[in-house]
Amino acid sequence: YSTSPHKISQALTSLVLLFSLDSPPEENAAQNTADPLTVLTAGSVRRALLNSSAAWVVQFYSSSCGHCIAFAPTWRALAGDVKDWESAIRVGVLDCGEEENYETCKEYGIHYYPTFRLDFFFAFGEKAAGLIKD
């Protein structure tokens, strides 16, 4: 059994597809009154990722990006579909188009939008047993 970052990424992609096909976004939006996405900012992203026992899937986007705007309902539907699994996986967004977030997006190596990152962190900021390399 291999736990390479590539295989983890493939598994996550399969999970995303499975849940996004499970229920149409319209149904999901009607079922969830609260926004299932966690909106991250330069001031909250590190604290959220490093103090979490859950894996995080974060979409780095720009509010002026047409592809990002078109994909937003699908990303929100995915977040709603995995909401009951919050202890294992969290779904967030960070708007790199906001001036306050520019430096944070650069630090995370974000050059194109949308960019999706899967990060496994444990409390106290230790990366998961060598699964993810910098």
DSSP state of 113: S
Residue-wise pLDDT for 45-66, tens only, equals: 999 988 888 999 999 999 999 9
Write down the pLDDT at residue 133. 44
Count of beta carbons in the 10 Å neighbourhood of residue 91? 24
Euclidean distance between CA atoms 119 and 53, whole angstroms: 11
5-23+33-125: CATH number: 3.40.30.10
Report whether 57 contacts 106 (CB < 8 A): no
What tokens does 8 get? Answer: 């983890």
Q: What whole-number percentage of the chain has pLDDT above 70?
A: 64
Catalytic residue list contains 65? yes
Parse the chain into domains and list their residue ranges: 5-23+33-125
Point out the catalytic residue in the list 55, 68, 91, 110: 68
Point out the catalytic residue in the list 65, 82, 89, 132: 65
What tokens does 35 get? Answer: 């926004």
What pTM, to 2 d.p., does this model score? 0.68
Question: How does the average pLDDT of the chain come out, rounded?
Answer: 77
Report whether 56 contacts 49 (CB < 8 A): yes
Residue-wise pLDDT for 99-119, tens only, equals: 999 999 999 999 999 999 988
